[in-house]
Amino acid sequence: MLRLYRLAEDIPACSLYVHIPFCAKRCDYCGFCSEVMRPKTADIYAGTLSRELNALQSSYHGRITTLFVGGGNPLSLGPDRLARLCDSLSWALDAAAESTIEFNPESLDEKTADLLLSRGFTRFSVGVQSFSSRMRDAIGRKGSLEGVYRSLEILKESAVSVSVNADLMTSVPGFTFYDTRRDIDELLKRCPVHHISLYDLMIEEGTLLSKRMPAESDEDMLSPSWAYLQSAGYCQYELSNFSLPGHQCAHNKAYWSQKPYLGIGVSAVSTLPVRGGAIRYAVLPDTDGFSRSGMALGEFEELDMRTWFKEHLMLALRTAEGISLENVRKKFGDDAAAWTADVCSAWTARGCMDCREDTRFLLPEGMLIMNTITTDFFLKSDALAFDPSLDSEF
């Protein structure tokens, strides 16, 4: 049995991520593990993935709490491969309280939506990005606007029975808050989604876009966009994520609170908390290699308590819930909790943080300089001593 599954044996509950790396075409800004769909490659990949999911089902006896099928564009598999993937995932779909599938708009039709609903998906996530042809052309977003409109019509019907998220993009150089506001208005007019992920455009080195666009927008579009979404009734529960009441993404919340998760597929990451830190397993970003070797094509990394603590701070700072000093104490000890309270006090004095009982959270002013604050926590934490034998609670 794969060492990863042996390590997961004692974990009573975990989230599951499944990666499908195919897209019809590649966007110019894409930094994800994705490639252009080739039917033969997809056949072999889907076969290996099914075998791996069957192996996981027979070796993991805990409970799958949430499931997320992402990519790439999982719907690029086409109806037959998708139906077979759902067969291999039926045990997880039955168990998970929340099952998300993400996709590109142009791949959704009524039949596919019905298939996904009948197989038990409870959450659909569609990559809209923008309704502006000018912005789509500027960033090299593939797929047509007609496809976006059509998918939103279908999702409007589905929204009665599932939770719907739409991804929008902001902070694109050459565009302003008013462009983002138009996108939000258009989205809400066409489909009253339950959840919006508003992402900054990241221009990653080596992408086609990095050769023609400046690295960053010089306009702050974030604070007015956040305020606009909030005025429309969407609560910002994480830096880039907004939801109506009852529609927060449980799968992402599990990542942010360092719950265990297993990732199956090319480039998928698994993280299992263990006493004194965590174990991470990353499958290499090589689709053909995964098709040949399956989950064996990966590398382990041991995260010591200091690294795990830094991740804890970084993730918690992004959320509206913020850092719970009680959680820090249980996981990392009394000294770490006292140290965290001190650093938070310094940022509170500068007007960037606030507190509610034992939690410390960033104010909008702090969210805007998240990287500076996180770096400050990281640098200062180098002086902190940890006891890896601590009887920490995970």
* Contacts to ligand SF4 by CB under 6 A: 23, 26-27, 30, 32, 34, 71-73, 104, 127, 142
Please state the closest distance from residue 327 (CB atom) to ligand SF4, in A.
Answer: 33
Q: Cβ of residue 34: shortest distance to ligand SF4, in angstroms? A: 4
Residue number with CB closer to ligand SF4 (72 or 260): 72
Name which of 127 and 322 has its Cβ closer to ligand SF4.
127
Buried b (16+ CB within 10 A) or exposed e, 264-303: bbbbbbbbbbbebbbbbbbbebebeebbeebbebbeeeeb
Question: For residue 127, is the peptide bond before it cis, meaning its omega torsion is within 30 degrees of 0?
Answer: no
Phi/psi for 31 (5° steps) reads: -120, 10
DSSP 116-130: HHHTT--EEEEEEE-
Residue type at 347 in one-letter notation: W
Least Cβ distance, residue 139 to ligand SF4 (angstroms): 9
CA distance 254 to 250: 6
86 three-state secondary structure: helix
CB of 267 to ligand SF4, least distance (A): 11
Nearest to ligand SF4 of 34, 180 (CB atom): 34
Query: Is the Cβ of residue 30 or residue 193 nearer to ligand SF4 in the bound state?
Result: 30
Q: How far is the CB of 234 from ligand SF4 (least distance, A)?
A: 23
Q: How far is the CB of 102 from ligand SF4 (least distance, A)?
A: 9
Distance CA 157, CA 42 (A): 30
d(CA 20, CA 33): 9
Q: Which lies closer to ligand SF4 via its Cβ, residue 128 or residue 191?
A: 128
Give the closest residue to 116 by CA, choosing from 128, 100, 105, 127.
Answer: 100
Q: Residue 34 or residue 258: which is nearer to ligand SF4 going by CB?
A: 34
Q: Chain-centre distance of CA 10, in angstroms?
A: 25
32 vs 149 by CB, closer to ligand SF4:
32
Nearer to ligand SF4, 23 or 46 (CB): 23
**Distance between CA atoms of residues 118 and 80, nearest Å:** 15
User: Do residues 176 and 130 touch, judged by C-beta distance below 8 A?
Assistant: no
Closest approach of ligand SF4 to the CB of residue 316, in Å: 27
Q: Closest separation between CB of residue 58 and ligand SF4, Å?
A: 31
What sections of 99-192 are H helices per DSSP? 110-118, 133-139, 145-158, 177-190
Q: How many helices (H) and strands (E) does the chain have?
A: 15, 17
Nearer to ligand SF4 by Cβ, of 127 and 265: the residue is 127
How near is the Cβ of 71 to ligand SF4 at its closest, in Å?
6
Q: Where are the beta strands (DSSP E) in the chain?
A: 13-20, 22-23, 35-36, 63-71, 98-103, 123-129, 163-170, 195-200, 235-238, 241-243, 261-264, 269-274, 277-283, 298-303, 323-324, 353-356, 359-362
